[in-house]
Amino acid sequence: MLQSDTIAAIATYPSNSGIGIIRISGPDAISCCEQIFRSKVPLHEMSTHTISYGFIFDGEEKIDEVLVSLMRSPRSYTMEDVVEIQCHGGIFILQRILSLLFSKGVRPAEAGEFTKRAFLNGRIDLTQAESVMDLISSENEKSRKNSMSQLSGVLSKKLGDLRGKILHEVAYIESALDDPEHISLDGYSEKLSSLLEELSLELDSYIRSADDGMLLKSGIRTVIVGKPNVGKSSLLNMLSEKDRAIVTDIPGTTRDILEEKVRIGDITLHILDTAGIRETTDVVEQIGVSKAEASVEDADLILYVVDSSIPLDDNDVRIQSTLKDHSSHTIILLNKSDLNSVVSEEELRDLGVQVISVSMKDGSGVDDLKQAITTMFFHGDISSNDDLLITNERHKFLLQQAKKSLSLVQDSIALGMTEDFFAGDLMDAYESLGSIIGEAVEDDLVNEIFSKFCMGK
């Protein structure tokens, strides 16, 4: 509530524009960012108002190539240390980086919080106080509604049940501590431990569903590459026609590119750079190769199209070298034409990338592609549990918090601590879950104690 912690949020409008910015503000902004950002000169050694080039890493996995600007306190919007990460647009990447930050101790900014901090730190003129207050309350209302609408009734109930179980355990512990002569805790720790294991697994499944859910909602930024005349536009047409689901043509805002939304079953692909593909004149198709080099950096998924009847040449070598750093999210589509086949699946597989045979003529292979994308991006079968999807990053953060609290309880049990040490962390988990389903804590615990356990004199 007061500015002792560090907050972060996506600062740009959440769309599939080419560039997105994540803003981090607070005393640990620099140190937290440094844990995921690698650059030539460490961030904390940079002077204020400078920009560093580097990469975001999740452990050893390279996530994105980014520019990071640093504004040290007090010369920043909030007058705190502020770090802004400029990354490649897609919501998928933005959310992934944000999640990484959350795992390093940053918390999601509340509605209007950057502005609130700016004001409380004296950055904004007094005459604007009125509008700051309005902003906070309207943003809060918006995010509350938004957050609730993104939670299905089924999921809300499941989280409520899970929460109820936690409360019941706390109430049991507390009533035993309050009335030790009536209620015994013998052998309770083991029982609690196995229950917590169950609950953690359940939380895990929701956390995983959050990644799926957010990705399903935002779509996968996809780029189709390949040398001229291998069937890129046919592929696009095939994907579009398959479900007759071309949704919009969005003119790019920052660059001169077009984007198209295509659905394969439940999955949405944002095909980037469609201008380059749709144009049939050779001139533009030529650009395909060089454009590919630029746009693979922006993409979550790269579809590399090869025609089986056209031998691989220098262009392919060039493309393949571009894709080398992106093999984990690249799929090669081998377009089987009727003509004599000169490129084999085996040969392509040697590149260490998944290969799928498709036929642009009869549309075969699309299901395999869908399966491959599902395996690559999602956890398990995505279409069957729509109701259990978390699609909100704040919800995901809170689920992770809840899980962390439960694992602290497990630690306490393992250390042989007595039951009174469990209650605090259990209540933290309870509160985190409560914030997801929009329920305040108030006097729940005391009520539970009295209603479930017969106490006292």
Footprint of another protein on this chain (CB under 8 A)? 1-2, 4, 110-113, 116, 119-120, 126, 129-130, 132-134, 136-137, 140-141, 170, 174, 177-182, 185, 415-421, 423-424, 440, 442-443, 445-446, 449-451, 454-457
- Residue 379 CA to residue 402 CA, distance in Å, equals 21
At its nearest, how many Å lie between another protein and the CB of residue 157? Answer: 23
Cα–Cα nearest to 232, from 171, 311, 304, 175: 304
Name the token pair of 424.
Answer: 């605090």
Neighbours of 91 (CB within 10 A): 24
Nearer to another protein, 294 or 454 (CB): 454
Q: How wide is the angle at C-alpha 30 spanned by C-alphas 24 and 34, nearest 5°?
A: 105
Q: Which amino acid is at 360?
A: M
Nearer to another protein, 182 or 191 (CB): 182
Pick between residue 109 and residue 296 the one whose CB is nearest to another protein.
Answer: 109
CA 154 from centroid of its chain's CA atoms: 22
Q: Shortest approach of another protein to residue 182 CB, angstroms? A: 5
Min CB(143)–another protein separation in Å? 9
**Nearest CA to 58 among 87, 17, 19?**
87
Closest CB to another protein among 35 and 140? Answer: 140
Beta carbons within 10 angstroms of residue 424's beta carbon: 13
If phi over 0 gives left and psi between -120 and 50 gives alpha, with beta otherwise, what is residue 397? Answer: alpha
In Å, what is the CA distance from 253 to each residue of 60, 68, 225, 266, 294?
Answer: 33, 22, 22, 27, 17
Residues 6+ apart with CB under 8 A from 62: 55, 56, 325
**Long-range contacts made by residues 9-13, C-beta under 8 angstroms, separation at least 24?**
9/98, 9/108, 9/109, 9/113, 9/114, 10/94, 10/95, 10/98, 11/84
Q: Tell me the closest approach of the beta carbon of residue 188 to another protein, in angstroms.
A: 11
188-218 helix and 393-414 helix, angle to the nearest 10 degrees: 160
Six token digits for residue 176: 């035993």
Give whichever of 380 and 456 is closer to another protein, judged by the CB atom: 456
Minimum CB distance to another protein smaller for 174 or for 300? 174
Q: How far is the CB of 308 from another protein (least distance, A)?
A: 60
Based on CB atoms, which residue is closest to another protein, 294 or 417?
417
- Between 196 and 257, whose beta carbon lies closer to another protein? 196
Task: For residue 84, give the H/E element and its range.
Answer: strand 82-88
Nearest of 157, 149, 82, 148 to residue 113 by alpha carbon = 82
- Give me the least distance between CB of 13 and another protein, in Å please: 22
Residue 84, C-beta contacts closer than 8 angstroms, at least 6 positions apart: 11, 21, 22, 23, 24, 68, 69, 71
Q: Nearest distance from residue 177's CB to another protein, in Å?
A: 5
- Shortest separation between residue 217's beta carbon and another protein, angstroms: 25
Nearer to another protein among residue 111 and residue 195 (C-beta): 111
For the bound state, the minimum distance from the C-beta of residue 138 to another protein, rounded and expressed in Å, comes to 8
Report in angstroms how near the CB of residue 83 gets to another protein at its nearest: 23
For another protein, give the closer residue by CB, 179 or 345: 179
Cβ atoms of 1 and 52 closer than 8 Å: no
